[in-house]
Structure 1
């Protein structure tokens, strides 16, 4: 039996028409459809056939707007080249920024944890009370949804 290598993309979804603080309620199927559409426009039927078999949106966090996408090694180059051309995700006008590409979910999890820790430290400068800091820490550093897919 042949082992298929995977690549995981950690992405940031940036919505144009909604405020930065408002959560984006996106289903992973919306992200999958948007990426597949961009691959179709850029690479045609060949690109869709190469990427569709193992392309999965594993995780989308509404509050932090971070997601994880899994795809096969090889066609991941087609997906990486098509992601900047995504203009709409579900009902939102949005675009995708690739934050990290890794070989395992564990590496992606470590990157997300470090990324969120840096964001938390950046936002804590403006907060005055410990309750506000605790609430922000709970929102940003809650990794239960990510741990459930590991």
Structure 2
């Protein structure tokens, strides 16, 4: 039996107009990517990508998304992502952050990426009191609500 190899692509959605929360669902992002793959690679490209394609994770607050595709078609997806300018009805771009073989490695990358972002943001705050309040707000942030 042959093992099916997947690739996981971590992307950040950057809207043209900054917003705190983007109201994107997995299906909207998947449809957008597949439509652009068909536009740039035709029916053959869509057929190669469509088989194992799925948006596994989409966080509307951090604007980070994990996309799963087959090993043989991940280059088609990653070459199409920078060409997308509209997601649903919002002007936005995809920035590819990481491509990994397992979703566990992608989760580790996201944790490290968010930690670097938090360190950068805390470094820009001048007073110690504001730093403590900022860290407290971030640590109390619950994604399930």
Q: Tell me the TM-score normalized by structure 2.
A: 0.89
Structure 1 residue 13 corresponds to structure 2 residue 1: no
1:116 is aligned to 2:114: yes
Contact 2:29 2:55 (C-alpha < 8 Å) held by counterparts = yes
Question: Which residue of 1 is the match for residue 46 of structure 2?
Answer: 48
SS at match of 1:74: helix
What per-residue deviation string (whole Å, max 9, x for no partner) do you get for residues 99-139 of structure 1? 00000011000100000000001111216152322112444
The CA distance in 2 between the partners of 1:129 and 1:12, in whole Å, is 25
Which residue is 1:132 aligned to? 134
Question: Does the Cα contact within 8 Å between 1:120 and 1:137 map onto a contact in 2?
Answer: no
Within 1, Cα distance between the matches of 2:140 and 2:65?
18
- The size of the alignment, in residue pairs, is 140
* Aligned mates of 1:89, 1:96 — CA distance in 2: 9
| Structure 2 counterparts to residues 75-94 of structure 1, below 5 A | 75-94=73-92
The alpha-carbon distance between structure 1 residues 10 and 74, as it changes in their structure 2 partners (threshold 3 A), is same
Distance 1:55 1:61 in 2: 18
**RMSD of aligned C-alpha atoms?**
1.7
1:91, distance to aligned residue in structure 2 (A): 2.4
Alignment equivalent of 1:24, drawn from 22, 25, 30: 22
In the alignment, the residues of structure 2 paired with residue 67 and residue 143 of structure 1 have an alpha-carbon distance, to the nearest angstrom, of 14
Match of residue 74, structure 1, among 62, 66, 72:
72
Name the structure 2 match of 1:34. 32
TM-score relative to the length of structure 1: 0.87
Task: Say whether the 8 Å CA contact 2:122–2:131 is kept in structure 1.
Answer: no
Between structure 1 and structure 2, the one with the greater Rg is: 2
Give unpaired runs (5+ residues) of structure 1. 145-150
Displacement of 1:2: 2.1
What are the ranges of 5 or more consecutive residues in structure 2 without an aligned counterpart?
none
